[in-house]
Amino acid sequence: MEAEARIEAELRAAIARATGPDCPPKFAKALEHAVFPGGARVRPKLCLAVAGACGDPHPALSSATAAALELLHCASLVHDDLPAFDGADLRRGAPSVHAVYGEPLAILAGDALIVLAFEIVARAGAAAPDRLPALMALIARSVGAPNGIAAGQAWESETEVSVETYHRAKTGALFVGATMAGALAAGADPGPWRVLGEKIGEAYQVADDLMDAMGGDEAGKPVGQDVALNRPSCARELGTDGAVAKLRSLVAEAADAVPDCPGAPMLRELVRAQAKRLVPKNLAAAAA
């Protein structure tokens, strides 16, 4: 099965489990709304690409790991959109979860998606339980405290912030989680896969800053939030052309960072191809 189909099937099965008998009906709809239709599913695709490059001997485990990363990403978006944070009524071009179902169900949906992520990895890990401790600890590190998404988001409540630490936790950690967990789920040493995740994470952060500043049509969310909320932004620091140049250089570094393995050439090509999606369309021609 193609990566995209594997990810969607795994996410469907996970949401079907969570919304099974006895689930409050509105809550079930909120959970579904948080995950479908999806965005680009970049993190799970990256995870499966790395697992594939490492031979992918346990596809059920790598599929569950990939889907778990996406569920965690979706959970962070649902909470990020809450009035206490961005107060965004739009996400992926559609009303955000709290805009449709209210704050209580949005908070609870995020919570339940986090739980569900760990549940599906635990279940899939029955086939290779020796890998579970390291795999689940790695996934946890990429979303919790002190270095994961939640900690990254929490930097927005501090007065003194290291922009690098903030971005590494808020955006980078889950990309590092995706490459390293993909390797671990395939039984490979995750260490050599860290830099690839870091570089892709940095590239995405630059792309996100650019889209926020320029209003790329892929964003499907309010524009100008970084300035409005006085958040650090690469596009503000380097200017648009500088940020696009930095993005291209990070993508090249990411492709170079793919460790030698049977699937390396294919994976390097994939990184470069995906990267084209990152430059907002209205900038791609000008800066190419």
Least Cα distance to 29 among 95, 86, 88 occurs for: 95
Q: Which is nearer to a second copy, 102 or 265 (CB)?
A: 102
Alpha carbons 288 and 279: distance in angstroms, whole number: 10
Gyration radius from the chain CA atoms: 18
Q: In one letter, which amino acid is 258?
A: V
Residue of the chain from 144, 192, 215, 263 that contacts a second copy (CB under 8 A): 144
Kindly state the number of chain residues that form the binding site for a second copy, as judged by CB under 8 A: 63
Residues 71-90 that bind a second copy (CB under 8 A): 75, 79, 82, 84-85
Ramachandran angles phi, psi of 102, nearest 5°: 90, 160
Q: Which is nearer to a second copy, 88 or 116 (CB)?
A: 116
The tokens for 110 are 């995020």
Which residues, 6+ apart, have CB-to-CB distance to 16 below 8 Å?
A: none
The tokens for 119 are 């549940």
Tell me the HSE value of 116 on the side-chain side, using a 13 A CA sphere.
Answer: 30
Shortest approach of a second copy to residue 75 CB, angstroms?
A: 7
Which residues, 6+ apart, have CB-to-CB distance to 67 below 8 Å?
A: 7, 10, 11, 14, 44, 117, 120
Least Cα distance to 244 among 285, 204, 283, 191 occurs for: 283
Shortest approach of a second copy to residue 130 CB, angstroms?
A: 5
Q: Give the rounded distance of the alpha carbon of 45 from its chain centre.
A: 10
By CB under 8 A, residue 2 contacts a second copy: no
Residue of the chain from 67, 74, 81, 125 that contacts a second copy (CB under 8 A): 125
By CB under 8 A, residue 154 contacts a second copy: yes
Shortest approach of a second copy to residue 100 CB, angstroms?
A: 12
Shortest approach of a second copy to residue 221 CB, angstroms?
A: 18
Query: Which one of 134-142, 197-205, 216-224, 263-271 is the stretch in contact with a second copy (CB under 8 A)?
Result: 134-142
Residues binding a second copy (CB under 8 A): 18-28, 30-31, 75, 79, 82, 84-85, 101-105, 107-108, 110-112, 114-116, 118-119, 122-123, 125-126, 129-130, 132-137, 140-141, 143-148, 150-151, 153-158, 165, 169
